[in-house]
Structure 1
Amino acid sequence: MTADTIPPRPPIVVLCGSTRFWDALTEAALYETVAGRIVLAPNCNLQQPHPMWDDPARADRLKHLLGDLHLRKIDLADDVLVVNPGGYIGDSTRREIEYAHSLGKPIRYTHATPDRP
Structure 2
Amino acid sequence: MHTSSDTPADRPQIVVLCGSTQFWEQLAEANLYETAAGHIVLAPGCNMKEPHPLWQNPGQAERLKNQLDYLHHRKIDLADEVLVVNPGGYIGESTRREIAYAASLGKPIRYTHP
- Same fold? TM cut 0.5: yes
Aligned to 2:74: 72
Figure out how many residues of one structure are paired with residues of the other and give that number: 106
* Secondary structure of 1:39's aligned partner: strand
The 2-side partners of 1:95 and 1:24 are apart by: 20
The 1-side partners of 2:23 and 2:58 are apart by: 22
Where in structure 2 are there 5+ consecutive unaligned residues? 1-8
List per-residue Cα deviations over 1:28-54 (Å, max 9, x = no partner): 000000000000000100011100000
List per-residue Cα deviations over 1:74-114 (Å, max 9, x = no partner): 000000000000100001100000000000000000002xx
Structure with the greater alpha carbon radius of gyration: 1
Aligned to 2:51: 49
Identity across matched positions, percent = 72
The 2-side partners of 1:32 and 1:63 are apart by: 26
The letter for the 1-side match of 2:99 is I
Asked if 1:96 corresponds to 2:85, the answer is: no
TM-score of the pair, normalised by structure 1: 0.89
TM-score of the pair, normalised by structure 2: 0.91
* Secondary structure of 2:67's aligned partner: helix
Q: Which runs of 4+ in 1 moved over 4 A?
A: none
Where in structure 1 are there 5+ consecutive unaligned residues? 1-6, 113-117
Superposed CA RMSD in Å reads 0.8
